[in-house]
C-alpha cells in the first residue's frame, strides 16, 4: 500500500525538482539567501532594540534611584563600617566572566564562611547555594535582600553591557563548573536582572525548574516579552516572595 504524501513531502519533492535544473538551483539558492537575510535583520533588529531599552532604562534607574542608593549606603556603613559594595565574578553569555556589583548584604568574610556551610545548602539540586537563615547576612542585608535593593547596582552592569534587564541570572564560576550540557544552554543569552523564575517564585523554585524556565525564555526571547517581565518584576519585588 502506497503512503499518502503529506504537505511536507510535497514541498520536499518540489525542492528536489527545482534543484534538477541550473535555473532551479539558482532560484532555490536565492530563496535560501533571502530567508537568511530576513532572519538576520529580524534578530539583529530585536537585539538592537533590546540594547536601546537596556541603556535607557538602566540610565534612568541609576539617576532616579540615587536617594535609595544613598540611604542604603548610609545604613550599611552604620552597621559595621565595612565596604558598601560587593563585586563578585559571574559568568555571562558564552561563558565570559565579568564583575557583577551588589550592595554588600553579608559580613566581610562571607566567601570564606560559605565553605563551612555548604552541607546546609537548602537549594534542591546542589548547584546553587541558598539558606533561609544564612548566618553571614547582616541585619541591613536581610532587609535589602528581601526587597532586592542589594541588586540595584547591577543597573550599572546593564548600562555597560555586561548584563541585560531581562535574561537568566548570572551564575558564579563554581556553579558553572558542575553544569550539565543542558544547564550550559543558559549561557546562550546575556544574563539579566530579572527572568521567569525571578517573578514566579525566586528561591522557592528548585535549580532544575530554574533551568527550564531560563531555556523557555531563550526560545521565546523578544522585546515584548522583556517588557511584560519587567512589569511583573515590580510586584514580585514589593512582596518579596521567595527572596532569601
More confident call, 197 vs 46: 197
Domain spans in the chain, listed from the N-terminal domain onward: 48-239
Residue at grid coordinates 553591557:
161
Residues whose CB falls within 8 Å of the CB of residue 198, separated by 6 or more in sequence, listed in order: 169, 233, 236
Residue-wise DSSP of 60-126: HHHHHTHHHHHHHHHHHHHHH---SEEEEEEE-GGG-EEEEEEE--B-TTHHHHHHHHGGG--STTS
Across the range 88-99, mean pLDDT stands at 95
CA dist 4 to 8, 10, 11, 15, 17, Å? 11, 10, 14, 18, 19
Q: Which of 65, 88, 60, 100 is nearest to 192 (CA)?
A: 100
Coil, helix or strand at residue 236: helix
106-154 tens-digit pLDDT = 888 777 776 666 655 655 555 666 667 778 889 999 999 888 899 999 9
- In the chain, pLDDT over 70 holds for what percent of residues? 72
- Confidence (pLDDT) at 43: 63
Return the CA Rg of the chain: 23
How many CB atoms neighbour CB 167 within 10 A? 26
More confident call, 122 vs 234: 234
pTM: 0.76
| C-alpha cell at position 24 | 532551479
Four-point Cα dihedral 171, 131, 134, 138, nearest 10: 60
How many CA atoms are closer than 13 Å to the CA of 98, on its beta-carbon side?
Answer: 20
How many CA atoms are closer than 13 Å to the CA of 17, on its beta-carbon side?
Answer: 6
Across the range 212-235, mean pLDDT stands at 89
Tell me the β-bridge partners of 106: 137
HEC string of 177-232?
Answer: CCCCCCHHHHHHCCCEEECHHHHCCHHHCCHHHHHHHHHHHHHCCCHHHHHHHHHH
Q: Average pLDDT over the chain, rounded to whole?
A: 82
Under a CB-based contact definition with an 8 Å cutoff, are residues 92 and 190 in contact? yes
How many CB atoms neighbour CB 95 within 10 A? 10
Amino acid at each position: 500500500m502506497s503512503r499518502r504524501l503529506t504537505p511536507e513531502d510535497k514541498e520536499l519533492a518540489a525542492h528536489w525538482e527545482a534543484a534538477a535544473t541550473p535555473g532551479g538551483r539558482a532560484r532555490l539558492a536565492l530563496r535560501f539567501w533571502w530567508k537568511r537575510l530576513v532572519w538576520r535583520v529580524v534578530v539583529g533588529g530585536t537585539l538592537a532594540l533590546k540594547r536601546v531599552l537596556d541603556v535607557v532604562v538602566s540610565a534612568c534607574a541609576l539617576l532616579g534611584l540615587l536617594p535609595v542608593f544613598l540611604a542604603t549606603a548610609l545604613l550599611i556603613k552604620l552597621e559595621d563600617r565595612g565596604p558598601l559594595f560587593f563585586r563578585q565574578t559571574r559568568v555571562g553569555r558564552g561563558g565570559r566572566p565579568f564583575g557583577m556589583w551588589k550592595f554588600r548584604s553579608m559580613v566581610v568574610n562571607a566567601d570564606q564562611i560559605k565553605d563551612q556551610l555548604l552541607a546546609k545548602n537548602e537549594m534542591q539540586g546542589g548547584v546553587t547555594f541558598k539558606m533561609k537563615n544564612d548566618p553571614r547576612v547582616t541585619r541591613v542585608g536581610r532587609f535589602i535582600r528581601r526587597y532586592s535593593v542589594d541588586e540595584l547596582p547591577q543597573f550599572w552592569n546593564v548600562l555597560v553591557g555586561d548584563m541585560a534587564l531581562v535574561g537568566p541570572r548570572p551564575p558564579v564560576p563554581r556553579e558553572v563548573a558542575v553544569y550539565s550540557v543542558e544547564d550550559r544552554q543558559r549561557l546562550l543569552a546575556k544574563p539579566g536582572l530579572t527572568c521567569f523564575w525571578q517573578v514566579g517564585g525566586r528561591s522557592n523554585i528548585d535549580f532544575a525548574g530554574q533551568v527550564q524556565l531560563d531555556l523557555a525564555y531563550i526560545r521565546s526571547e523578544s522585546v515584548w516579552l522583556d517588557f511584560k517581565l519587567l512589569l511583573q518584576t515590580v510586584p514580585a519585588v514589593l512582596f518579596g516572595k521567595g527572596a532569601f
